[in-house]
Amino acid sequence: MSNSIVDINNDTEAKAASLLDASSSAGQKSVLFFWAEWHAPSAAGGPFDTVVKALAGQSGSDGVTIYRVLAEEAPTLSQKYNVTSVPTFIFLNSDGTAIERIDGGEDVARVTQCYSRLAMTASTSSAPSSSEPATIISTQQPEETKEEQTLNNRLQSLITSSPIMLFLKGTPNAPKCGFSRQAIDMLTASNLTFGYFNILEDDAVRQGLKSYSDWPTYPQLYVKGELVGGLDIMKELMEEDGLVAQLELEDYVIGNSSSAVETNNDTTTTESALSLNDRLQQLINRHRIMLFMKGIPSSPKCGFSRQIVEILDSYNVSYDAFNILEDEEVRQGLKEYSDWPTYPQLYVEGDLVGGLDIVKEMEDGGDLKELLTGDVTD
């Protein structure tokens, strides 16, 4: 039974299994199960892993090979099938055609249903009946629409992942073109905190966003989910009253935390602490729902931060995030300020909710939705 599951832990193993070839899986039915170690439902012992093992028990008689792919360690294979979330399931017919796919979600039963349809369709592929091709076409045709919708949903999530969002070539610390560098300089000079996405690392986003927003070049600046424009627009706004005044971004300006130098060291320390506390309070109240995390929503840097982002995104609520990896003062100061030693930390209306465990407990108890949507009754 277990030999019906093939573990793919990197692109080298994917190549050895001929999954990177243009004719990958041709001649056999197969299921590609993309998972990640940090995603408990798809990791070992999780519900998706359990159902895959159960299906493997019958896959031998069905003639189906199941490939369990560690998505982040096999980026080439993941890119080939446009995998942007886990779990993702790709159901491939014996001719290598993807007849169905599942992107994310928690519907374990749907995996079994899609598998059953694959087994039935593919088992007659060598001698199809006159009605069978119509069945394959009907499941395949909406796939393009579904993939487009999935990409659009992802773009919308990225655009709204921070009140001020910049799509650029490179990162703020290492821009890869002069236009992106100038855009960063303007945001920095305006003392604004902002989220960013490196479009060089994701061609689906790079090409899709041009069409989604009808704006052909980069960088692209978004404020509160709305496109502002590119570098030329930013320059015009700067030359007028500045980005802050023109775009009404006063709530997102981080004040200068430097204080006057005092001869008394105790006085200097006290003033610095007050200044940091003021800054932390300002950050906490920057948005009704504020997340302090490692990385940014579009690119989390730890599994815990990734999981809490997925939970927030599932409720389709607007929230802001602060990357504590880019500011050691905030990272250490917030632990003491809120008496909470770990990250991520979630705040709603200025109050600490807690970390990932608390958020998961509230989600399981049905309280999280009310808190996030504001339908809380005292």
DSSP string, 272-305: HHHHHHHHHHHHHTSSSEEEEESEETTEESSHHH
Which are the contacts of 64, defined by CB distance < 8 A and separation ≥ 6? 4, 28, 29, 30, 31, 55, 115, 118, 119, 122
Token pair belonging to 7: 């573990």
Contact (CB, 8 A) for 9 and 70: yes
User: What is the chain's pLDDT, residue by residue, as a tens digit (378 residues)?
Assistant: 344 789 999 999 999 988 887 655 557 889 999 999 888 888 887 778 877 887 777 655 667 899 999 998 998 998 888 888 889 999 998 888 888 998 877 667 678 778 877 877 744 443 333 333 333 333 344 455 677 778 888 888 888 877 888 999 988 777 888 899 999 989 988 888 788 888 988 888 999 998 888 888 899 999 888 888 888 888 888 887 789 888 888 878 765 333 333 334 443 333 444 588 888 998 898 888 999 998 888 778 888 999 998 999 888 777 888 889 888 889 999 999 999 989 999 999 999 999 999 999 999 999 999 999 876 444
Q: Tell me what pLDDT residue 262 has.
A: 34
Question: What pLDDT is attached to residue 248?
Answer: 84
Burial 329-346 (b: 16+ CB within 10 A, else e): ebbebbbebbebeebbbb
CA distances for 18 relative to 23, 288, 349, angstroms: 8, 49, 52
d(CA 130, CA 219): 52
Give the model's pLDDT for residue 23. Answer: 56
3-state secondary structure of 319: coil
CA 245 to CA 198: how far, in whole Å?
A: 27
Coil, helix or strand at residue 95: coil
CA-to-CA distance for 209 and 152, rounded, in angstroms?
Answer: 8
The closest of 101, 91, 99, 104 to 154, measured between CA atoms, is 104
| Rounded-to-integer distance, Cα 251 and Cα 256, Å | 14
How far, in Å, CA of 153 to CA of 83, rounded?
14
State how far the Cα of 335 lies from the Cα of 187, in Å rounded to an integer.
27
| CA–CA gap between residue 159 and residue 280 (Å, rounded) | 25
> Dihedral (C-alpha) 221, 292, 172, 217: value to the nearest 10 degrees?
-20
